[in-house]
Amino acid sequence: MKMIYTLFLFALLSSACCHAFVNDFCVANLKGPDGPSGYECKPPNTVTVDDFVFSGFVAGNTSGIFNAAVTPAFVTELPGVNGLGLSAARLDIAKGGFVPVHSHAASSEILIMVKGEITAGFITPSAAYQKTLKPGDVMVFPQGLLHFQVNSGKGKATAFLAFSNPSPGAQLLDLLLFGNNLPSELISQTTLLDYAQVKKLKARFGGRG
Amino acid sequence: MKMIYTLFLFALLSSACCHAFVNDFCVANLKGPDGPSGYECKPPNTVTVDDFVFSGFVAGNTSGIFNAAVTPAFVTELPGVNGLGLSAARLDIAKGGFVPVHSHAASSEILIMVKGEITAGFITPSAAYQKTLKPGDVMVFPQGLLHFQVNSGKGKATAFLAFSNPSPGAQLLDLLLFGNNLPSELISQTTLLDYAQVKKLKARFGGRG
Amino acid sequence: MKMIYTLFLFALLSSACCHAFVNDFCVANLKGPDGPSGYECKPPNTVTVDDFVFSGFVAGNTSGIFNAAVTPAFVTELPGVNGLGLSAARLDIAKGGFVPVHSHAASSEILIMVKGEITAGFITPSAAYQKTLKPGDVMVFPQGLLHFQVNSGKGKATAFLAFSNPSPGAQLLDLLLFGNNLPSELISQTTLLDYAQVKKLKARFGGRG
Amino acid sequence: MKMIYTLFLFALLSSACCHAFVNDFCVANLKGPDGPSGYECKPPNTVTVDDFVFSGFVAGNTSGIFNAAVTPAFVTELPGVNGLGLSAARLDIAKGGFVPVHSHAASSEILIMVKGEITAGFITPSAAYQKTLKPGDVMVFPQGLLHFQVNSGKGKATAFLAFSNPSPGAQLLDLLLFGNNLPSELISQTTLLDYAQVKKLKARFGGRG
Amino acid sequence: MKMIYTLFLFALLSSACCHAFVNDFCVANLKGPDGPSGYECKPPNTVTVDDFVFSGFVAGNTSGIFNAAVTPAFVTELPGVNGLGLSAARLDIAKGGFVPVHSHAASSEILIMVKGEITAGFITPSAAYQKTLKPGDVMVFPQGLLHFQVNSGKGKATAFLAFSNPSPGAQLLDLLLFGNNLPSELISQTTLLDYAQVKKLKARFGGRG
Amino acid sequence: MKMIYTLFLFALLSSACCHAFVNDFCVANLKGPDGPSGYECKPPNTVTVDDFVFSGFVAGNTSGIFNAAVTPAFVTELPGVNGLGLSAARLDIAKGGFVPVHSHAASSEILIMVKGEITAGFITPSAAYQKTLKPGDVMVFPQGLLHFQVNSGKGKATAFLAFSNPSPGAQLLDLLLFGNNLPSELISQTTLLDYAQVKKLKARFGGRG
């Protein structure tokens, strides 16, 4: 009896049902190429719940020079976000640590404070917007603007981040300016930083020239 | 003489003309993968007028359990709609039949009454919007909202549907709730439906668990 | 008892419920200004089901010079489509009538044949795509392309149209070229039409100059 | 001297600087009307950092019937997200509590587990995707799909949510089906739920008819 | 020492850094298929600065029948614009020359005058907007509208064009109407042009039928 | 006779014609508020051709500290670009001058070289893309990335710029970092620049703190 109803249902929905897969979600086929709107979709019958779950939001290793760690759940870790305009990350900052000034070329960001204290801000040509955040606070950083996060508390700080892009990238200002091979004279000229300052930071961030 | 003009024209338009194919339309290559914005484009020189025409809007078979039939002209039937944010369907409902409560995850819908009488409505958390429609009436169902269509007349009813998505899918509520293998206890808990009700409809819609 | 549950519900949903109005739909406030994405939203508590229903798809008056009539259900007739990327129209063409060559600047179109016979087509720089359509046929006209519909049958023809824009406009080629006050010399030059032809059609379509 | 440089800068940037306000962000003027793309922008000189910060992510009151609470940081609480395609919420579920089956008409959702255990899932016509989540897990629920979250652990559960819409709304299935005034017969017919079941839940969720 | 910092940096950015390539740009792989949102992205490590530079904006050959030349920098010449919603072209018009009436199906256009004098305009159903432009003038032509450019000066004219589409196409009205194989009777009927006029221009623009 | 045809035409187009204004263009009402998608539309009957033309692309004043000048044709100068995703600017750089490192938060940019020589580049975390441009060269700078333009020639340099945003803003790095009132210690920490360097440039760019 059940089978009969199922068949009737199929008759009703025969044409509509199979389209449901196409646009209800589009899990990234990470082996294929990507395009301006994201990755190709995996065949729906190969999709499992694990395409929609990422289990790696543990405390990151904060022993690096900034004493900060970002653990992403972007499309490469969480292929189910492909095409959905959304992703997440976990941010850990040890005491004294910080995330240096950076931006995301095509993504806004929301920071949700969980533990400790972070002084965060973003900068526009006409004003800087800065706030000391504690657990329970949420702050938004609009798309494409330079921003920073500093652990201003007495212990570890943890926050979660959400992005309006499944693959938000990260443009760390120091790495941009001092990690490349552009001539130091050119960088000095176009940033108005002293030449010696540029050379000093190039040495630190791996840039040549 | 004509040839000369044609050549001159080609000289003028040599670079512009060949781009015309790229974005003027993008007929779906249904054999290729799809992505968040649709299917890859067929090579323009393989496109014919039949990629833009579908000839199947005949009366659907309404002998199923709901006595209703939806005949789609989505991207898989009408590949010319790929990337255009538009598709269509024909809806036939026999006397006493109906399309149960359902939604389209990423598409709005317009219903154009042609024959008979349909009582249609959609539901939001704050209000339900319902109307009895006759030929000459048009009704819109906003994106992602649950809606239904009931033949409330004395004979067959026919309508045409248009969607703001080339592949709108169809989320039939009963199939969602009772056609899967989620535990009946879980469904009962999260829908607040009685356990017996869940079991009864699971038997009808093919769900296990 | 019901009230208590309702209050509890309200406690759960207190903050979420009131946002539901904002984006679930945005019925056009036609008295307000419009912007690039449409009209302002009417206050949700003033919205009724009639904002989502238009009851005017009756046979249009086909006694004009083209013996054709277009009856729209655009945002001004059906304010519920505001922001939804969708609208509709009814097309009636008397025997011998036609809709002259025209385009929609920012909308694709789907035509659903209901009665009679229409020969329809659209034109690209590299090819024209033309088909004689009968009831049961559906044809799509991609955005921004010139297209036409001719009653090629022996009686009246009726079709329904859907658009991917709540306010698709209509650019009738003759009205564009011959209904304005641009100098006839300029029109003749930039269209390569004979000057006499331009003057003749200007007289017919109300243009001066 | 500084003033001179500032003036020179102004000379360079005179025209560009003042546009920076317009599109770098668009904080919602919540007193004005909203439209399909969001609220009007507040005048930039009235914007403060508090437009980008919300300080209310404390534990919600879970004493309601579902023993769950959603605390939103949507555009009405956090006006800086206007136009950015992003918002957030805090979810608290007491032991035994749950968020019933619901959807967001035009928003995807990411859930970040912080504390306790939640069994969450979403449903499509062809499959249900369900997982038991613990701290460190992240799960995405694609746009427009029915989903649920159940506290399956032995104590309180807390999670943060991010949405791809500044105003995601919330379509609670029970409230949709049983909180309105649609006739119970109609609901029973179009959901295939028993009439008695409909009446029982209408009594609970405040619906009439 | 530098290496150590670099490694620490890598530790910080290990997961974020590699995503930076994905969405910061998507240079077209012109050998692959294109889709509704553009071409697939070239692997980032094969991208060079020359993908972002086109060096062909020299004076075009204006010896054709219109004495005008358009030199494009569209996605096929400048693959770095893929997915960015932007492209450019150079326009040269000899004395007495012009660009005939045409449109771009899915692109707006900005014209920047550099040399000489051009009388340009676009046409809507309610009005024509026309202006004589000299160096220093900028004019915008909204998406999908018919427009023209005539050298109204005493020497050569040069302008640069920018488009809101990486592949804007070009719909030259004469080529559309008279370069295809649609029956001349049909063209005459749907344009209201005299049959003789149609035949005359078909001969000129290569159309048959 | 003409009047009769006009009336007939009106009969045909009565409903369609008046919508044509709505979406064919949306000239900015600069006195009204703006929103996420741009400004409100001016009433169509108040629109003139001058809303689509800007006549100020003359050589800018390059006597400022950077010996460079940007003359914009953004939505505030050219209200016809509202909602069209396109704008333009003229760039003049005197010998020895340059446009310092900057970005546009939500806009890509195309540079068209007209005169002189400019060395331009943009920077990503993994590579810098730099080129010396001469007349005839076109270069694209993807959205949200830091870029610069230096006059590397022996005389004046002139270029035209096009943007994928009617109001692209301009984020000059020095003004961001050194023109605000953030504490110098904080800037030094989050940029890794020496404190003395920060103080020196704050003095130059008007920042306090």
- Rounded to an integer, the average pLDDT of E181-204 is 95
Return the pLDDT at E177.
Answer: 95
Of the candidates E50, E80, E162, which has its C-beta nearest F86's C-beta?
E162
User: Chain F window 150-179: which residues touch A at a Cβ cutoff of 8 Å?
Assistant: 150, 169-177, 179
Cα A129–A135–A138 angle (5° rounding)?
40
Return the pLDDT at A177.
Answer: 95
Q: In this prediction, what percent of chain B has a pLDDT beyond 90?
A: 80
Dihedral class, residue C46 (left if φ above 0, else alpha if ψ from -120 to 50, else beta): alpha
Give the CA radius of gyration of chain B: 22
Confidence category of residue D22, pLDDT binned at 50, 70, 90: very low
Measuring CA to CA, which residue among A157, A149, A68, A49 is closest to residue A109?
A149
- Rounded to an integer, the average pLDDT of F148-153 is 98
**How many residue pairs from chains A and F have C-beta atoms closer than 8 A?**
121
Distances (CA, A) of F196 to D41, E23, F191, F202, F208: 39, 36, 13, 10, 14
What pLDDT digit, counting tens, does each position of B130-155 carry?
999 999 999 999 999 999 999 999 99
CB-based touch C/D (3+ pairs, under 8 A):
yes
ipTM here: 0.90
CB-CB under 8 Å, D192 with B197: no
Instruction: Tell me the three state secondary structure of residue D170.
Output: coil
Q: Cα separation of F56 and A83, whole Å?
A: 41
CB-CB under 8 Å, B32 with E33: yes
**How many residue pairs from chains A and E have C-beta atoms closer than 8 A?**
99
Measuring CA to CA, which residue among F90, F84, F102 is closest to residue F28?
F84
Q: Please report residues of D whose CB lies closer than 8 A to that of B123.
A: 176-177, 180, 182
Q: In this prediction, what percent of chain C has a pLDDT beyond 90?
A: 80
Measuring CA to CA, which residue among B84, B75, B53, E208 is closest to residue C131?
B53
Number of Cβ within 10 Å of residue A22's Cβ equals: 21
CB-CB under 8 Å, B167 with A22: yes
What is the overall mean pLDDT for chain B?
Answer: 89
- What residue numbers of C does the annotated binding site for Mn(2+) cover? 102, 104, 109, 147
Whether chain F has a CB inside 8 Å of the CB on E88: the answer is yes
Return the pLDDT at C209.
Answer: 77
What pLDDT digit, counting tens, does each position of E21-43 carry?
345 899 999 998 899 999 999 99
Return the pLDDT at A32.
Answer: 87
Measuring CA to CA, which residue among F37, C39, F15 is closest to residue D82?
F37
Q: Please report residues of A whose CB lies closer than 8 A to that of F173.
A: 173, 191
How are the residues of chain F apportioned to helix, strand and coil, as percentages rounded to the nearest 5?
25, 30, 45
Of the candidates E35, E64, E71, which has its C-beta nearest B37's C-beta?
E35
With CA atoms as reference, the chain D residue closest to B204 would be D192
Whether chain F has a CB inside 8 Å of the CB on E115: the answer is no
Confidence category of residue F32, pLDDT binned at 50, 70, 90: confident
Q: Which chains touch D (3 or more CB pairs under 8 A)?
A: A, B, C, F
Whether chain F has a CB inside 8 Å of the CB on A143: the answer is yes
Q: In this prediction, what percent of chain F has a pLDDT beyond 90?
A: 80
Q: Please report residues of E whose CB lies closer than 8 A to that of A33.
A: 29, 32, 40-41
CB-based touch D/E (3+ pairs, under 8 A):
no
Residue D103 has pLDDT above 90, yes or no: yes
Instruction: Tell me the three state secondary structure of residue F102.
Output: strand
Q: Cα separation of B144 and C20, whole Å?
A: 12
Return the pLDDT at E162.
Answer: 98
Top pLDDT among E172 and F13 is at: E172
Q: Give F158's DSSP letter.
A: E
Measuring CA to CA, which residue among B85, B93, B43, B44 is closest to residue B64?
B93
Return the pLDDT at D65.
Answer: 83
Return the pLDDT at E126.
Answer: 84
Distances (CA, A) of A44 to A51, B167, D67, D106: 11, 15, 35, 22
Confidence category of residue B4, pLDDT binned at 50, 70, 90: very low
| Residue F19 counted as an annotated binding residue | no
Q: Cα separation of F19 and C169, whole Å?
A: 5
Render each residue's pLDDT in chain A as its tens digit; 209 residues. 333 343 344 444 433 333 333 458 999 999 988 999 999 999 989 999 999 999 999 999 999 889 999 999 999 999 999 999 999 999 999 999 999 999 999 999 999 999 999 999 999 988 999 999 999 999 999 999 999 999 999 999 999 999 999 999 889 999 999 998 899 999 999 999 999 999 999 999 988 87
Measuring CA to CA, which residue among A79, A80, A56 is closest to residue A69?
A56
Residue D146 near residue B171, CB atoms below 8 Å: yes
Indicate which of A12, A17, A84 best probes the interface with B, i.e. most B CBs within 10 Å of its own CB.
A12
Return the pLDDT at F209.
Answer: 77
Return the pLDDT at D32.
Answer: 87
Indicate which of E52, E58, E78 best probes the interface with F, i.e. most F CBs within 10 Å of its own CB.
E52
Tokens of B50: 């039949």
CB-CB under 8 Å, E136 with F84: no
**Amino acid (one-letter) located at A32:** G
Return the pLDDT at E32.
Answer: 87
CB-CB under 8 Å, D15 with F106: no
CA distance E4 to chain F (A): 17
Tokens of E101: 């009436």
Distances (CA, A) of F121 to A183, E160, F109, F110: 12, 21, 12, 12
Virtual torsion, Cα D23, D27, D33, D35, nearest 10 deg: 50
CB-CB under 8 Å, B63 with A41: no
Whether chain D has a CB inside 8 Å of the CB on A141: the answer is yes
Q: Please report residues of F whose CB lies closer than 8 A to that of C77.
A: 15
What phi and psi values does residue D15 have, to the nearest 5 degrees? -85, -30
- Rounded to an integer, the average pLDDT of B77-85 is 97
User: Chain C window 23-42: which residues touch B at a Cβ cutoff of 8 Å?
Assistant: 24-25
- Rounded to an integer, the average pLDDT of C85-96 is 97
CB-CB under 8 Å, D125 with B191: no
CA distance C158 to chain E (A): 18
Residue E16 has pLDDT above 70, yes or no: no
What is the overall mean pLDDT for chain F?
Answer: 89
With CA atoms as reference, the chain B residue closest to D149 would be B190
CB-CB under 8 Å, A73 with D129: no
The strand ranges marked E within chain A are 34-35, 38-39, 53-54, 68-73, 87-93, 98-103, 109-115, 118-123, 128-133, 138-141, 146-151, 157-163, 171-172
Residue B106 has pLDDT above 80, yes or no: yes
Residue D59 has pLDDT above 90, yes or no: yes
Residue F195 near residue F143, CB atoms below 8 Å: no
What is the SS3 string spanning E59-106?
CCCCCCCCCEEEEEECCCCCHHHCCCCCEEEEEEECCCCEEEEEECCC
What pLDDT digit, counting tens, does each position of C137-182 carry?
999 999 999 999 999 999 999 999 999 999 998 899 999 999 988 9
List the single range of C101-115, D19-33, E87-101 with lowest mean pLDDT.
Answer: D19-33
Indicate which of A18, A140, A147 best probes the interface with D, i.e. most D CBs within 10 Å of its own CB.
A140
Distances (CA, A) of F149 to B129, F90, F118, F135: 58, 13, 6, 14
DSSP, residue by residue, E160-199: EEEESSSS---EEHHHHHHSS-S-HHHHHHHH---HHHHH
CB-CB under 8 Å, B193 with D145: no
Residue D86 near residue A164, CB atoms below 8 Å: yes
Confidence category of residue C23, pLDDT binned at 50, 70, 90: low
What pLDDT digit, counting tens, does each position of F112-136 carry?
999 999 999 999 988 999 999 999 9
Whether chain C has a CB inside 8 Å of the CB on F81: the answer is no
Number of Cβ within 10 Å of residue E181's Cβ equals: 13
Tokens of F183: 């504490």
Return the pLDDT at E185.
Answer: 95
Q: How far apart are the first and last CA of chain A?
A: 77
Confidence category of residue B23, pLDDT binned at 50, 70, 90: low
- What residue numbers of B does the annotated binding site for oxalate cover? 104, 109
Return the pLDDT at E6.
Answer: 38
Residue F67 has pLDDT above 60, yes or no: yes
- Burial class for A1, CB neighbours closer than 10 Å (0-12, 13-18, 19+): exposed
Tokens of C117: 């016979």
CA distance E204 to chain F (A): 31
Taking CB atoms within 8 Å and a gap of at least 24, the contacts of E54-61 are E54/E78, E54/F137, E54/F138, E55/F136, E55/F137, E55/F138, E56/F136, E57/E90, E57/E160, E57/F112, E57/F113, E57/F135, E57/F136, E57/F137, E57/F138, E58/E90, E58/F136, E59/E90, E59/E92, E59/E158, E60/E90, E60/E91, E60/E92, E61/B11
Return the pLDDT at C120.
Answer: 98
Residue E7 has pLDDT above 50, yes or no: no
